[in-house]
Every structure is written in C-alpha cells, then in structure tokens.
Structure 1
Amino acid sequence: MGVAVMGPMRSGTTLVADLLTVRGRSLVLSEPNLLGAWHPLLAGTIHRLVTDFGIEAPPPPTEKPPSRIYSYFDRAILPELQGLDFWGVKYVDLYGWQQLFQRYQPRKLVLCVRDLREVAVSSIELAERMKLGFPGGDHMRDEAWILTRLAHSVHELLALRRLPHFVLRYEDLVEDPKVRERLADYVGLDELGTERLNLTIERDSRQSWESRKHGESITKKALGRFEREPPGPVRNLAERVWRLLGEYSVAFDYEVAEPKARIQGHDFSAPARPGRNPVPYEKGEIWNWKGPRQFEPSFARRRARHLASFNIPAGAVVLDLSGGLSSMITELPKGSRLIMADVVERTPQTKAADLLQGKLPPKGSATVVLALEILEQVEQPGRFLKALRGYNLPVLLSYHATDDTADLDRAALGWRSHLSRDQLLRGLATVGFKVTASWAFDGRQSFLKLRPIPVPARKPRLEAEDAA
C-alpha cells in the first residue's frame, strides 16, 4: 500500500483522500473497512469508487459472499490497483489499524489533525445532518458517543505518531498552498487531484451539505467554527474534549488549556500503554454504555433521554429544547415526532433560539416539551422557567441540583445556574407547575415531570398596608 491517511473525524481526511486521488496514477479509498465483516453495501461502495475512477473490476458477489471484505478486495480489486503509482486508504475509524498495517503495510503515512474544539463542533453537525446511528440503527449517535470516539481516536493517533509520518493540520491545508505542495511531494505526485470522487459516493445528506459549503474548491469556510459557536451544550462539549485531551494539542502544536483548566485523572485521559487504548472502543459502540467512572454531562444527558422516552405518550409531538443532537428522535414512542431547538440552526429543520436567555421558540404543534441538561446552563433560570410555563404544555425536565453535586465543579462544566432541590421546586411552583420528581435518579441528576396549573392570583394590598 502506498499511503494511509489517518485522523479523527472532521479533520479533512476525505478531502485529503481526494487530493491524493489522480486518475491513472493513484487512488485512495475512503473508509473501506477492509478487515471488517462482509457488508454488501460497503463492498458495493468500494466497487463503485473503483469503477468511477476508471478501473474495471468484478462486482461484489451476491451469492455465497466471503466472511470478510478483504477477501473480495484482494481477489477482485487489489490486482487492478497494482498498475497504479500507488493506492491507499483513508480512515477516521482508527480501531485495529495495527492489524490493517500488518496486512497492507503503507509506505507513507499522513496524519490529519485539527483543533479538537473545531473537530467536536463539526462532529456534532455531521451527526445531526446525517442522523448517524449506533450499530443496528435503533438509536442515533449522541454527544456521549462523540466524546468517546474522539478520545479513542486521539490515543490511537498518538500511537500512530510513533511511526514515520507527515503531519497535515487542516488549518494549514486550506490556508497555505505550499502545504499542499509539500503533501504532493511527500507521496510522489506532480500535482494533487481536483475531483471529489470519495465525497461523491458519500450519503447525499453529507455530500450535498459539503458541496454547498465548499463548491468545487478548497475553502476556509469551515475554519473558526468553534469561535462562532454560541454558549450552550455544544460549545461546552467542545471545550471539555479540548481540556480533557491536552496531550493531543501539545503533540500537534495547538492551543493548550491553562493548567488549572485541564482535566486530570480521567479514565479517558489516562496514559496509553503500548497496544492498550484507555478508551474502550467496543463499549463506546453500545448506545447505553454508562461511560467513564468520572462524571460526564454527555453521559448524564444520555441517561435523561432514555428515562424521558418512557414518559412520552405515543403520537406525541415533542419540542426538544435541550440543544445539541436530536438523538431523542430514535427513542420516541410509535407515531411521535420531534421538533429540535438549539442555539444555532444546525439543519434547516432546527428551530434556532437564544435558549440560555430564556427566549424560547414558538411551540408550533408540540404537545410535550423536553428540557434535558439545559437548565444548568441558563444564567437566569427563573426567566427560562417562566417561558417554559408559557407553552402551557407538560414538560419533562432534568436538572443537577446542588444538593446532589457537592463534589462537582459546576462552573468548570459550563453550568451557570446553581439551584438546590428546594429552590427549584419553589421556582417551578411560582410560575405554575405541579411537579412529580425523581430526585437523583442516577446518583446526581433529577428528573421532573411538570404539569401546568393555574397560578393563584395575588391578594390585592390594602391602602393602609401600602401606607404602612
């Protein structure tokens, strides 16, 4: 194998795969999962890419297929690639790269990197637009999966860094033509490719989005994504990933969090031993894995979503004010529909609103409201609760009360409201909610079912009382 392009998701790897693909000279395959179990759709995608490139190869077998993709690839595809100057692969799923390199040893290795905060925000947007799912498709990927996947990828990338390699920072790739020239020199090309063959075979939900954003050229439009992200759940997640995985920023010359802001002693940031990643890949692919021993807001949100799913009636129209990913969509009961709200319009369907200031979107046709792991991030919770009551709808709310989080640094988590159980109950009663609470259902987080009720009118004050 001529080249392997490896990096975390949303670090420009697909773009690099296409830049290194030049008709008649070189072809880099995006995410072929060569060592994986047989999958007819993936095998068909590999065949389509090779055919679009201009190579005639036998199609994947429909009867008695092999158990592994490499059996078809080695027999039908690889012999046709040997006539090129080089062929290669691109992976953002870095699990098992050691076995891949044993079977197809690359002569060149390109490590694609990008500021982790940018990676996290962009990963949220990709998962939201493509509605990425866990294996089996019963549940949509969520923020906890993104945290786990990025942490796993970082440790694998740091291990790959021990091999001879070429570091390619996304920021430099799109800004500096000389970096692209050095990339071409590294792999032995006179000039880089100009077609987007690997992007073309992607799902339309991604292909059309990327094409509209960048057109046919390399642009800087994806830079500064973290800076443009307003305060809220996604920005908090991005900062947490960055603070948690500081070794990556040091290794690839990115801004590093101040020492006091770095997250120490965490399962995901533990030093990796040779051949041992501290982040369990297989568990990360399970939709209800509980996560690391340390508290993580994204895993708390996962637990809240699951509990909420049991309290939503069939056929409900759910307005989700939680922000982030619309992962709740795959946990809704039969016949239900989700309306997603967030601090920015991540998809054309998202209702953008200044949630943290209590400026909530219109309820539309909603019959139930969700507010999970969002009240913690609101600076004026009273205003938010009042706006929530204005919907005059039942609400499912989660919150980490101060009674149950004495061991947490709430400010470091990006939390702006600090209510005790009693303060939360009084605030809800004041605006007109009847509360059924499951306090600290997971040890720290509370789940509250709110039903709107009339608020008793205040008794008029007498003139004598006013004078007094």
Structure 2
Amino acid sequence: MAEKKRNMGVAVMGPMRSGTTLVADLLTVRGRSLVLSEPNLLGAWHPTLAGAIHRLVTDFGIEVPPPPTEKPPTRIFNYFDRAILPELQGLDFWGVKYVDLFGWQQLFQRYQPRKLILCVRDLREVAISSIELAERMKLGFPGGAHMRDEAWILTRLAHSVHELLALRRLPHFVLRYEDLVEDPKVRERLADYVGLDELGTERLNLTIERDSRHSWESRKHGSGVTKKALGRFEREPPGPVRNLAERVWRLLGEYSVAFDYEVAEPKARIQGHDFSAPARPGHNPVPYMKGEEWNWWGPKQLEPSFARRRARHLASMNIPEGAVVLDLGGGLSSMITELPKGGRLILADVTERTPQTKAADLLQGKLPPKGAATFVLALEILEQVENPGRFLKNLRGYGLPVLLSYHATDDTADIDRAALDWRSHLSRSQLQRGLATVGFRVTASWAFDGRQSLLKLRPVPVPARKASAATEGAA
C-alpha cells in the first residue's frame, strides 16, 4: 500500500491513566471516525490482540475479514494493512491511541498522523490510578508468570514521561485530563482540532477491554465524562502508595513544568537520578526492555519499590507450600504470583483499595485481624511506620511466623531516610532488641542486597515483665 495511503488522521499519546482511552472513544463517531486503543500495529502477531482489533472494527459497523487462524502473519500490521486499513480509508479519519510509547518513531514513520494529541494528568494522580488498575486487572509481566509491581509502574511512568517530552517537539494539542473532564469548552476545542462537529458518546474501546477493567470503569463513570477520578492523590492516606506517587512526581519534575502542573519545592526534587537524567535525541535514559523484566534490579540509586521487588523474591523462597499469607506491605498484591504451590494471599493496606483489601492504619502500627492467615509478610513497610514498637508488638500478637524486611541505619548511612519518607530509624541492634522483647526468635540475612535485610521471625514465649516493657529501643 502506498505510504500516503497508510497515513492516519490522529494519534493520541500519553502515560497510562491519563484519559487516553476516554479520548479515543470521544474521537470515535460511527460512520465518521475510529480511533483504535493500543493496537500494537508494529508488534509480533498476537491472536488475542488481532481479535480485539477485529471486534472493535466490526462493533463500529465495518465488516472486515477475521484474523487468520492458519498460517498467521508475523506482525499485526500485515493483517491490519490488508484487511482493515482499506476500509478505514473511507472514514473522515482513523487513528490510534497508545500509552506504551516505546517505538512511536517507527509507528509514525509507517502511519504518519496528521494530528497529534498529548494526554497528560498530574503524575501523582497517574501513579495512584496505575496502582489501582494493576491491582484490579492483575497485570502481568511478559509471559504471565509474574504480576507487575510498583517498580514496573515507576519505570514505565519515567519512560513514558521522557517519550512524551520528545513528542512535544512535534506539532501537537495538549489535553490535560483535569481540563477535559471539568470544562466543556475544552471538549469543544478537542472536536474542532480533529474536525468533528461533535464528540462520540459510546465507549467502544472500553467495551473490548478485559471485564475486570470494563466493569470497574463503567460502574465509576457510566457512559459519560465525569469528575469522579479527580482528587485521587488528595484522598490517598499516608502510606506506600502515596509515597510512590510523591516520589514519581518529585523525580520527574520536568513533566510538571512542561504541562503546567504543581512543581515540587527545589529542596524536595530528586536530582542526579538515573531516571531523571536529561534525554538525548533518540535516547531515553530509562531502559524500556529492562523495565519489562520482572526481576530487574533497577537504577543504581536506592528505590524503595525495587527494594520491595527484591524482598518479595527472597521471601518467596522462605514461605511454606499451602501457606495463607497476610501481606502487610500495601500497594499491589504482586506477591500472589511468587507464592509457592497452594499458597493464598491476603493483602492489607492503609485503605480499602479493592473489596478484597484489609484496611488498617499500618503507619501507626495498627494491624488488621489475621483471619485465616498462617504466615505474615511485612516487606518495605516498617521503615514507614511512625510507631515501630506498636507495630512489632501487634505483629507478635498474631502468633504466626513472619518475614520482615528492613533497611537498618547501619546499612544506609549515606541515604537520606527522610527524603524517602521513612519514619523509623532503627539500627540492627535496636531492631533485634525490639523483636526479642516482644517475643520473636530472629534469623537475619543482613543487607542481602547491599542495604536491605530480611529477618525470619518465629514467635516464642516471653516473660510477662518483658512483654509489658514493649520495645523502648524501637519506640
């Protein structure tokens, strides 16, 4: 097909959870325009994805041949260009929407867009919404054996920000999610930009998503444009997820400057980080392919989300088969794919992020009931606890074996703990004393990754006077 015949009318690009799917549906109007969500046109052949593209096009009202089941092509575009693109050329315009911005240059070489829309949203809101999406959909790394985690979200957002800043060099229309849902005039300008008399009202792209996402989004927003997703960061209680959101925001300040969002105070900005290094033309400082590896150790700087990844991996080797594991770490239930045979996970967090989450004020040392748990994980959480003595005492109250991770002050002398929003500052000896006082026998793997320790805790009887003394060294 001639190159000019392959050109598309619009490309919608932005980080995940910035409203891109909503925009794709707003720009989809039966008989006039169709924007495909995440078609991965340059990717390797994937029958499920090809089937989703076929379903979207036929639901839109265009009859096209189904994806081949025998002798399938090597790439998605082989099927798309032959079976679908000729039909789309009869519309006023067609386009694509991507939140995976890797390789957009090659995409635009093959399908050059006449119009470019950059979707943006406050990065703190993006991070929290990304956690919720990953948790509800149980998003997996390539291969499906491991669930995506907080470290992946940090990496993907950092990569996307650098690509988005590169896309700004092209003629574009900036669409802030906050303005899109609050101001009808912004939606009018969006329609004018692409040449539509009015925007679409159907959620065709959302409909072909997994039911775990489609149902959740539909319950929250219905079929219209609502403000219900605004203020997510303000509503998030202090805890692991809020800390991650703030860290992303402080790390990627150039994004906030570029798109007119609140910028962190100079002393709070993260400087000299691998992920915040200035991008050179054609070079993103965040390695995309490494970010798609479930066990990548991450940047050379200490990142709590990557520390948790390493702790989960080591912990998985020390959990018995068939254990019912109470995970006090909050955030994502990524440990679910690391459990041994027959294991089950119960996730606790500072808020009820999903109906299955057990909410508790973890940072004050208050823990949820153990329920059916037979084993406890406390990974990358004690550092954030304001009252570690209460936390350890309540941990012992479960009467269960525990795996606890911690960055002792002995191993982090060169780290600004306050900058990581760590509230407890215990040395190895203080931590050991506190654990012994409440009644734990400790087997420690000190600084197993160079800074972080993993402690195996077994409950043992404690004399009454010791139990009442609690943990002065860990208070």
Pick the TM interval, shorter chain. over 0.9
In 1, are the aligned partners of 2:20 and 2:99 still within 8 Å (CA)? Answer: yes
Cα 1:76–1:461, aligned 2, differ >3 Å: closer, same or farther? closer
In 2 relative to 1, CA 226–435 (structure 1 residues): closer, same or farther, beyond 3 Å? same
Q: Which moved more, 1:147-156 or 1:352-361?
A: 352-361
Deviation at 1:458, TM superposition (A): 2.8
Counterparts of 2:355 and 2:464 in 1: how far apart (Å)?
Answer: 42
Structure 2 Cα separation of the partners of residues 152 and 222 of structure 1: 24
The 1:111/1:388 distance shift into structure 2, 3 A limit, reads: same
**Equivalent residues of 2:437, 2:467 under 8 A apart:** no
SS in 1 for 2:467: coil
1:369 Cα deviation after fit: 0.2
Aligned partners of 1:392 and 1:118: how far apart in 2?
A: 38
CA distance in 2, matches of 1:199, 1:464: 52
Distance 1:110 1:194 in 2: 19
Measure, in 2, the Cα distance between the counterparts of 1:9 and 1:467.
40
DSSP-derived class of the 2:279 partner: coil
User: Residues 98-126 of structure 1: CA distance to partner in whole angstroms, max 9, x if unpaired?
Assistant: 00000000000000000000000000000
- Give the SS at the match of 1:107: strand
Report if aligned partners of 2:327, 2:346 keep a CA contact under 8 Å in 1.
Answer: yes
Asked if residue 287 in structure 1 is aligned to residue 297 in structure 2, the reply is no
The answer as to whether partners of 2:120 and 2:177 remain within 8 angstroms in 1 is: yes
- Deviation readout 1:278-313 (Å, 9 max, x if unpaired): 000000000001101111000000000000000000
Q: Deviations over 1:1-20 (max 9, x none)?
A: 00000000000000000000
Measure how far apart 1:464 and its partner are.
27
Is the CA contact 2:148–2:334 (under 8 Å) kept in the aligned structure 1?
yes
> 3-state SS of the aligned residue for 2:219?
helix
- Residue 90, structure 1, aligned to residue 97, structure 2: yes
Q: How many residues align?
A: 468
Structure 1 pair 59–461 and aligned structure 2 pair: CA distance change class (3 A): closer
1:185 partner SS: helix
Gap change, CA 1:366 and 1:185, over 3 Å in 2: same
Please list the CA deviations of residues 47-97 of structure 1 after superposition, one character each: whole Å capped at 9, or x if unmatched: 000000000000000000000000000000000000000000000000000
The root-mean-square deviation of aligned C-alpha atoms, in Å, is 3.2
Contact preservation (8 Å) 2:430, 2:473: no
Aligned mates of 2:322, 2:141 — CA distance in 1: 24
CA distance in 1, matches of 2:100, 2:182: 26
CA deviation after TM superposition for structure 1 residue 399, in Å? 0.3
Give the TM-score normalised by the residue count of structure 2: 0.96
SS at structure 2 position matched to 1:98: helix
2:163 to 133, 156, 163: 156
- TM-score normalised by the chain length of structure 1: 0.98
Secondary structure of the 1:461 match is: helix
State the Cα deviation string for residues 180-238 of structure 1 (Å, max 9, x = none). Answer: 00000000000000000000000000000000111121111100101111111100000
Instruction: Give the drift of 1:397.
Output: 0.2
| Cα offset, 1:322, TM superposition | 0.4
SS at structure 1 position matched to 2:468: coil
Distance in 2, matches of 1:116 and 1:341, equals 25
Give yes or no for contact 2:431–2:474 (8 Å, CA) kept in 1.
Answer: no
Tell me the distance in 2 between the aligned counterparts of 1:266 and 1:462: 43
**CA, structure 1 residues 317+45, in 2 after alignment: closer, same or farther (shift >3 Å)?**
same
Once the two structures are overlaid, the 10-residue window that deviates more, 373-382 or 356-365, is 356-365
- 1:42, CA displacement in angstroms? 0.2
Counterparts of 1:352 and 1:176, CA distance in 2: 35
**1:147-199 CA distance string (max 9 Å, x none):** 00000000000000000000000000000000000000000000000000000
Q: Which runs of 4+ in 1 moved over 3 A?
A: 459-468
Could you tell me which residue of structure 2 aligns to residue 101 of structure 1? Answer: 108
What does the per-residue CA deviation read over 1:372-392, in whole Å, with 9 as the maximum and x for residues that have no partner? Answer: 000000011000001101100
Looking at structure 2, the residues matched to 82 and 387 of structure 1 have their Cα atoms a distance apart, in angstroms, of 65
Structure 1 residues 465 and 202: CA distance shift in structure 2, 3 A:
closer
Which whole-Å CA distance do the structure 1 matches of 2:126 and 2:339 have between them? 29
Distance in 1 separating the partners of 2:171 and 2:462: 69
Q: CA deviation at 1:461?
A: 14
Instruction: Note closer, same or farther for the CA distance 1:86–1:316 as it changes in structure 2 (3 Å cut).
Output: same
Distance 1:461 1:302 in 2: 35
Contact 2:47–2:67 (CA<8 Å) still a contact in 1?
yes
Q: CA deviation at 1:466?
A: 25
Give how far 1:467 is off. Answer: 30
Q: Structure 2 regions of 5+ residues with no counterpart?
A: 1-7
Are residues 1:63 and 2:92 paired?
Answer: no
Q: CA deviation at 1:249?
A: 0.3
Q: What is the CA distance between 1:457 and its match in structure 2?
A: 2.9
Q: 1:57 to 1:260 in 2, by over 3 A?
A: same
In 2 relative to 1, CA 467–291 (structure 1 residues): closer, same or farther, beyond 3 Å?
closer
- Report SS of the residue matched to 1:294: coil
Offset of residue 439 of structure 1: 0.6
Percent identity, please.
91
TM superposition shift of 1:358: 1.5
Distance (whole Å) between structure 2 residues aligned to residue 423 and residue 134 of structure 1? 38
Distance, in Å, in 2 between the alignment partners of 1:463 and 1:397 is: 18
3-state secondary structure, aligned to 1:146: helix
Q: How far apart in 2 are the matches of 1:190 and 1:460?
A: 73
| Cα gap change, 1:110 to 1:139, in 2 (>3 Å) | same
The CA deviation at 1:459 is: 9.3
Cα shift at 1:460: 14
Corresponding position of 1:467: 474
Q: Show CA shifts across 1:354-378 (max 9, x none).
A: 1111221110110000000000000
SS in 2 for 1:180: helix
By how many angstroms is 1:325 displaced?
0.4
Q: 1:338 aligns to what?
A: 345
